[in-house]
Chains A and B, each alone.
Chain A
Amino acid sequence: MTTAEVSADAGEAKAGSEYERERVPEKALKGPTAFWGMYAGEHTAGTEFMIGPLFVAWGADAASLIFGLLIGNLLAVLTWRYLTAVIACDNRLTLYYTMERIAGRHLVTLYNLANGLLFCFLAGAMITVSATAVGQFFPEGTVKMPTFESTMPTGVAWIIACVAIGGAMTVVAMRGYSVVAKVGHFAAPWMFLVFVACALVTLGRLETTDIWALLTPTTEPAADKKISFLGVVCFSWFCNAAMHLGMADLSVLRFAKKPSAGWASSAGMFLGHYVAWICAALLLVYWVRVHDVDPSQGKDPGTMVNDAVGWAGLACVVIAGWTTANPTIYRAGLAFQGMVPSMPRQAATLLAGTVCIAAGIFPAFAMNLLSFVGIYGTVLAPVGAIIIVDHFFAERLGIRRSPAASLGMNFNGVVVLSWLLPVGVAMGLHYSLGVFASYLPLPSAVACGVLYAVLSKMQSAAADRRLAAG
């Protein structure tokens, strides 16, 4: 299975040809190699150049970055392996069809809206990162770069850069993205080495290989520290919560011969979300120590990578952003098309691309990536908890499996309540009390699962009473 096909499956791309509404047959199952390559490629993205430096800006210490990321990424891999991959290989159905059987067709529309919008904001962040690289090709000052504190566009040149990059990405996504997906597949090992190259050059300039000392903040650990050890663990565990705990990767892993394919996620986690994040963090450490850059203001990825390794690095930033934003725009388009099936896919992709470009113009999304991915997980992970209850506990608890399918419902109110109540509370905690968003996906998912079990039990009892009454 090519990366393109895997990604396309995730977005229900090939209607009528990729088993969207049936179990994947034995003959279509794939060996583990495809999954290792796919995960390695998908998780070495342009946004990794933002996340590492943002950790530094938030005052993460060496222990958090070296051990916290290790633990969080390990927990993410275990979630993929022992929840997502197990359910995927048992049922061999897409997330969307699984959801439809539990929640009803109309409710999947609501899920598509949430999913599509969040995909757009994520792709917007990737456009922002790519624009910082493109700006380096113009004379200094032509394109004013955003800082970590920027929320608004920095000028007309910045807007033009984002529109040009986002427009090109959208046009390619509208035509289908298999070529870009192939480029992403080929680029993965090279991109990873460019991250390491940036770190090596930085270590040479700082004349030390003591990464622990470099990652230890130079300022007193006090007011500026915005993220703790637990925060780093939770961030790295849940930054892809929508994919593992939220079960979006059912659509990919349903093609796996065995649940052990879930281990392939470790390629993405430990190369992209461990080594690459630490390498990217070292770039900002250099600018803080040598150029006296205020860590809270940070430095844009394009400038840092260009300074470290030159044009090859800039190409890496653009390609890493492009190859991950492109399928994301494509998936967002498919999610929108799922809401309005009569809309042509190209029109839906154009709509998604326009939203992505609008999001990319505003650096607020990229610069708040640490919070945004937590919100992304908090909104979508609870859906996975419902699938977990349906798969593992329904029979034990005496509730119906796939209730919408078995009772002929188009809209399962129990799912709406179970999903939106915990998400509403979590959003309240984040926006009113400032609770770090990455702390919220797990409690939201657990609360959603418990609510779903209790309400479904009541729903099943009421349905049984109605059946008994005739």
Chain B
Amino acid sequence: MKQIAMIVGLASLAGTIVPPALVMVKMMPESTMRTMMLISAITWFVTAPVWMKAE
């Protein structure tokens, strides 16, 4: 469970930074980036507490 949460969590971090990079090089429209970033943010906050140690 933790491993799955970690993989999904790390993917959501990628989903936060890759779309803006693609927008920068004009390979993605801004509207798609905004949606992906929002979904990634929600996914991150759902998965991070499962695997990230609070220490």
Contacts and interface: CB of A to CB of B under 8 A. Distances in A.
Check if A and B associate.
yes
B24 A200 contact: yes
B37 A200 contact: no
Contact of A200 (B13, B23, B49, B52): B23
B42 to A, nearest CB: 9
**Chain B at the A interface: mostly helix, strand, loop or mixed?**
helix
B40 A312 contact: yes
A454 interface: no
Given A187-B45, A315-B41, 15 more contacts: A2-B55, A186-B48, A190-B41, A198-B20, A200-B24, A201-B20, A201-B23, A201-B33, A204-B20, A310-B33, A312-B38, A312-B40, A312-B41, A313-B37, A315-B38
A422 B34 CA distance: 51
- The 9 closest A-B CB pairs, nearest first, are A310-B34, A204-B24, A312-B37, A197-B20, A200-B20, A186-B48, A312-B41, A200-B24, A193-B16
Nearest to B25: A204
Contact of A190 (B21, B23, B44, B49): B44
B13 A309 contact: no
Interface in B9-51: 13, 16-17, 19-21, 23-26, 30, 33-34, 37-38, 40-41, 44-45, 48-49
Interface in A234-286: none
- With a 10 A CB-CB cut-off, give which of A33, A185, A187, A193 has the most chain B CB atoms: A193
A19 interface: no
Contacts of A344: none
A357 interface: no
A4 B43 CA distance: 23
Contacts of A186: 44-45, 48-49, 52, 54
A203 B34 CA distance: 16
27 contacts: A2-B55, A37-B55, A182-B49, A186-B49, A186-B52, A187-B45, A190-B16, A190-B44, A193-B16, A193-B17, A194-B37, A196-B20, A197-B17, A198-B20, A200-B21, A201-B23, A201-B33, A204-B20, A204-B24, A204-B25, A309-B20, A309-B33, A310-B34, A310-B38, A312-B34, A312-B41, A313-B37
B47 to A, nearest CB: 9
Contacts of B26: 204
A34 B24 contact: no
Contacts, number: 77
A1 interface: yes
Nearest to B35: A310
B34 A309 contact: yes
Nearest to A194: B16
A94 B21 CA distance: 44
Interface of B: 13, 16-17, 19-21, 23-26, 30, 33-34, 37-38, 40-41, 44-45, 48-49, 52, 54-55
B32 to A, nearest CB: 11
A408 interface: no
A189 interface: yes
Contacts of A311: 34, 38
Contacts of B30: 201
A326 interface: no
A189 B10 CA distance: 10
A259 B23 CA distance: 43
Given A2-B54, A312-B37, A315-B41, A190 B13 contact: yes
A46 to B, nearest CB: 16
B49 to A, nearest CB: 6
A185 to B, nearest CB: 6
Contacts of B41: 190, 194, 312, 315-316
Contacts of B13: 189-190, 193
Interface in A1-40: 1-4, 33-34, 37
B55 A34 contact: yes
Contacts of A315: 38, 41
Interface in A162-210: 182-183, 185-187, 189-190, 193-194, 196-198, 200-201, 203-204
A186 B34 CA distance: 21
Given A2-B54, A185-B52, A197-B16, A309 B37 contact: yes
Contacts of A187: 45
B34 A1 contact: no
A394 B47 CA distance: 52
Nearest to B49: A186
A186 B55 CA distance: 10
